[in-house]
Copies of this chain bind each other. A is one copy, B any other.
Amino acid sequence: MQPNSLLEELSQPGQTKMVLIVLDGLGGLPVPELGNKTELEAAATPNLDELAARSSLGLAYPVMPGITPGSSAGHLALFGYDPVKYVIGRGILEALGIGFDIKPQDIAIRGNFCTVEKKGSELVVTDRRAGRPSTEHTVRICQRLQEEIPEIEGVEVFIRPVKEHRFVTVLRGEGLDARVKDTDPQKEGLAPLTPEPLVPEASRTASVARKLLEKIAKLLADEPKTNYALLRGFSRQPGLIPFPERFKLKAGAIAVYPMYRGLASLVGMDLLTVKGETLADEISTLKEHWREYDFFFLHLKATDSRGEDGDFNGKIKVIEDFDKHLPSILELKPDVLVITGDHSTPSLYAAHSWHPVPFLLHSRWVRAERETGFNEYTCARGMLGQFPLLYTMNFMLAHAGRLEKFSA
């Protein structure tokens, strides 16, 4: 991968406007039973096709060939952070996913409620998911725990529900360190592990976590199933140099889902308020803030959701809806517009996949494709070739005239 510090050295401020549109999980696979077309090929997209003819196309690898990325890895690459180098811990991701306002020094931990039983003198885990309680149940449990455990040894403790048996704990205080071992024994019938520090610096954190588990055990002793917890993914924010600082621009993020708002916030973008949840609402936000920012990240979740559902026609509908809204984005005349995904979610596969994602780059300085069509096949033969998604910011900054010449 590239030495990205080169981009930082060469970046300069400017007046140009850049828009990065992420259609989550955009890439697809042809479905033999449905005309052997991908979702992008089957969708009627007159506006995208017309734009493609005036743009350069390519296929981008989120991480590297064959690797299926999670959402955070794909977005880090899009934002110019090497996803292999900067890994966002599970605890942090869980906190971002519920929209928790995580601070730089916080330790975030994923929690699972579980069922334990005394077997002789030993405690063993009999159900690692506590019989999958309802989310409502977990909300109530977390409220009770939060009230009873506001702090431990001077460390502020946050306990928040996620979904079913899952919750998140955040520790906020002095002298904490995330290098603490998970407590999940991974198998039922074994004893839950104690939080052990992996380095001496993490002994305070491990001690707070041990106390937290003791308190949870006491408070939930009468619960029939959710009577204990397993802690995993102790983590802190990676020390990312903020996006606006690296690239000398003012960046606004337009996203509805907490996870993507969290990722944008993590790299230092401003979170813009979207009134509503539709693409039209997002575009209204874009227009409203057009003068204030020079870089916009606009995220659309539905392509990924329909892909995960295995809903081929549903994904087509989302793409066609985006196509209808495209002219209102083009009206703003961005100097650089990228339309791509953070990874592929083919509805045939009904999950994130490793396939490279279609990538469209529009600016007056591109070697335009001339022929129409925006899909996996036109992109594979496009002027940009195939490249790491990490180069997104290289392309955007260059075409926006934001990079000085390298060397002489």
Contact = CB atoms under 8 A, between A and B. Distances in A.
Given A66-B395, A70-B406, A367 B355 contact: yes
A403 B6 contact: no
B349 A365 contact: yes
A222 to B, nearest CB: 34
A395 B88 CA distance: 25
B391 A66 contact: yes
A70 B391 contact: no
Given A370-B36, A381-B381, A385-B59, A64 B6 contact: yes
Most buried by B among A36, A38, A385, A387: A385
A29 interface: yes
Contact of A380 (B68, B72, B83, B385): B385
Interface in A381-405: 381-387, 391, 393-395, 397-398, 403-405
A69 B368 contact: no
Contact of A88 (B65, B386, B408): B408
Contacts of A38: 367
A84 B6 contact: yes
A405 B65 contact: no
Given A67-B403, A71-B408, A365 B353 contact: yes
Interface residues of A, number: 60
Interface residues of A: mostly helix, strand, loop or mixed?
loop
Contact of A405 (B30, B68, B367, B391): B68
Given A380-B385, A383-B380, A391 B65 contact: yes
Contacts of A87: 407
A394 B70 contact: no
Given A72-B407, A380-B383, A394 B64 contact: yes
A403 B367 contact: no
B64 A391 contact: yes
A10 interface: yes
Contact of A83 (B64, B368, B385, B407): B407
B29 A93 contact: no
Interface string A352-364: 1111000000000
A315 to B, nearest CB: 16
Can you list the 4 inter-chain pairs with the closest CB atoms, starting with the nearest?
A66-B394, A66-B398, A385-B386, A70-B408
26 contacts: A3-B84, A10-B67, A30-B368, A36-B368, A36-B370, A38-B367, A63-B406, A64-B391, A64-B394, A65-B387, A65-B391, A65-B394, A65-B395, A65-B398, A66-B403, A67-B398, A68-B398, A69-B406, A73-B406, A73-B408, A87-B407, A90-B408, A354-B398, A376-B383, A381-B381, A385-B386
Interface of A: 2-3, 6-7, 10, 29-30, 36, 38, 59, 63-73, 83-84, 87-88, 90, 93, 348-349, 352-355, 365-368, 370, 376-377, 380-387, 391, 393-395, 397-398, 403-408
Given A67-B398, A380-B383, 11 more contacts: A6-B84, A30-B367, A30-B368, A65-B387, A65-B395, A67-B394, A68-B405, A72-B407, A348-B365, A354-B394, A380-B385
